[in-house]
Amino acid sequence: MAEGRCNCGGIKVSIPALPEKTMICYCSNCRRAGSTIGSLIYLLDKSEVNIKDPNGNLKSYKDSDTKSGKPITRQFCGNCGCPIATLISDDSPIVVLKSGLFEHIPAPADKSFAEEEPSWIKILEPGEKRM
């Protein structure tokens, strides 16, 4: 069992096991939603994701200005603002879970919207360290 949480700890997430690899999405919507260069994500079956929100902190909004033209639902903690997940559609069996919720984050194995990756990005190779 792998467990993660938002910054304030108000929302906890559990999945059966931590995936071996992440994906990084460079779409402009993910960059804005996280105020970062890209979003590190896991694509998981909804049935495998357990979100515990005892205080009702989980908030969501419809993001309609997407590259696909299909609206998505972005979920976040209403207390600390931490992104939690993205729902592709109500009937999709897949949930896009933010891998930053977990202490250990595996290296990205794939890219989404790779054409929008900033040209100055260099992902560290396994074992490579920089300060």
Per-block mean pLDDT, blocks of 10 residues, the chain (131 long)? 96 94 83 81 94 97 84 94 91 92 86 79 65 57
pTM of the model as a whole: 0.83
Amino acid at 10: G
SS3 47: helix
CATH class of 2-115: mainly beta
Q: Residues, the chain, total? A: 131
In the block, tokens 């790779």 appear at 114
In the block, tokens 């997940």 appear at 85
| 28 membership: H or E segment, kind and range | helix 28-34
- Contact present, 83 and 39 (Cβ < 8 Å): yes
Question: Looking at residue 80, what is its pLDDT?
Answer: 96
Question: Looking at residue 76, what is its pLDDT?
Answer: 96
- Positive or negative CA dihedral for 87, 89, 95, 99? negative
Question: Looking at residue 125, what is its pLDDT?
Answer: 64
5 vs 17, 47, 55, 122, CA distance in Å?
15, 18, 14, 28
Question: Looking at residue 61, what is its pLDDT?
Answer: 92
- CA dist., res. 61 & res. 59, Å (int): 7
Question: Looking at residue 21, what is its pLDDT?
Answer: 84
Alpha helix stretches (DSSP H) within the chain: 28-34
Domain residue ranges of the chain, discontinuous segments joined by +: 2-115
Amino acid at 112: S
